[in-house]
Amino acid sequence: MLITVPCCGSLRAELAATLIALSRDPRYEISVRFQNERPYEHSLNLLARQADESGYDWWLTFDDDQVPYGNPLDLIELDLDVVSCPAPIWMPDKSPKCPVVWNAFDDLGPSEFRTHQPQKGLQEVGITGSGALLIARRVFTEIEHPFLIDWDSQGRKLSGPDIAFCRRARAAGFKIWVHFDYPCRHYCVTDVAEIGTWIAKNLAVDHG
């Protein structure tokens, strides 16, 4: 069992404490590794190859700003291809009426997706984030570069590594799952002015 953090900055103390607790889980022999290569997807692909070449049956990877509430190692017993511990993200462009959404989506096309419903228990989805993913060996051995970003003919990025991975895994016959009973905290940096603008536009009250 390999647990990794593709760390592109500082590590949250909360995540460090979680990693220590997970490494002591008596059910599994666990190795913890950090990878600070840039860009982010390069670290993810390096870690995927390390997981494959070292013979690990399961690979659990966390972003350095996401911390699970529960114990994601419980999900190994479900024997799923890919399962995410969802995290809240700020996405006013995709969900203008409720801009904080779980990163679990139905895939509608090249650049279109919608928030998955229902948001409870174990759900099969089209796309999820890569911030807290448990991936079975059969997936990262089948897909050579799982987090390779897709580009168009003009050199423009078509999607991030998480979307590209989910689509590549599904094309290979694997299923993507999200377990809403195992959510994550998400300590991201968001522009407060952007939040204020959304509040003023959508929640303004006329006191006149």
What percentage of the chain exceeds 70 in pLDDT? 97
CB contact at 8 A, 34 and 19 = no
User: pLDDT band for position 142 (50/70/90)?
Assistant: very high
CB contact at 8 A, 87 and 95 = no
Give the pLDDT confidence of 189-202 residue by residue, as tens digits: 777 788 788 788 88
Backbone torsion region of residue 143, taken as left when φ is above 0, otherwise alpha when ψ lies between -120 and 50, otherwise beta: beta
CB contact at 8 A, 60 and 184 = no
pLDDT at 184: 96
CB contact at 8 A, 164 and 111 = no
Give the pLDDT confidence of 78-136 residue by residue, as tens digits: 999 999 999 999 887 777 778 889 999 999 987 788 899 999 999 999 999 999 999 99
Which runs of consecutive H residues, i.e. helices, occur in 59-191?
Answer: 137-142, 161-171
Q: Does residue 205 have a pLDDT over 60? A: no
User: pLDDT band for position 163 (50/70/90)?
Assistant: very high
Question: Average per-residue pLDDT in the chain?
Answer: 90
Kindly report the pTM of this predicted structure. Answer: 0.90
pLDDT at 186: 93
